[in-house]
């Protein structure tokens, strides 16, 4: 029990650390299209939860196959799905306004 608890505690501390790292990295002055990279610590957090709390490496092989399939198919959905908008030329309506959204005066 003691060893099991120590491992879980270690994971929890790692998660908090990675979370702090992710939070801190959001303040980096990255260009808008690179900002999704902030998620990298988040991906490591997900892996930590899956390995340590969900014990994906223990148990029958089939559960690792299911987990890998989920990750793979998610990737296909997102990658092949983004291929179109990312390579498409969008012809925008000319609305005459070029600036970002702004906050209006209090209603």
Binding site for another protein (CB under 8 A): 1, 4-5, 8-9, 11-12, 15-16, 19, 22-23, 25-26, 29-30, 32-33, 35-36, 38-39, 42, 45-46, 49-50, 52-54, 59-60, 62-63, 66-67, 69-71, 73-74, 76-78, 80-90, 93, 95, 97-104, 107
CB of 37 to another protein, least distance (A): 9
* CA torsion angle 74 55 19 17 (round to 10): -150
CB 45 within 8 A of CB 19: yes
CB 53 within 8 A of CB 36: no
Sign of the torsion angle spanned by Cα atoms 53, 54, 60, 61 = negative
CB of 35 to another protein, least distance (A): 5
């Amino acid at each position: 029990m003691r060893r099991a608890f120590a491992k879980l505690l270690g994971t929890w501390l790692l998660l908090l650390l990675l979370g702090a790292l992710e939070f801190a990295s959001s303040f980096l002055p990255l260009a808008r299209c690179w900002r999704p990279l902030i998620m990298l610590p988040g991906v490591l957090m997900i892996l930590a939860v899956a390995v340590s709390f969900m014990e994906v490496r223990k148990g029958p092989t089939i559960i690792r196959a299911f987990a890998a399939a989920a990750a793979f198919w998610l990737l296909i959905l997102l990658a092949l799905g983004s291929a179109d908008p990312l390579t498409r030329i969008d012809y925008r309506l000319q609305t005459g306004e070029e600036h970002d959204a702004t906050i209006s005066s209090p209603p």
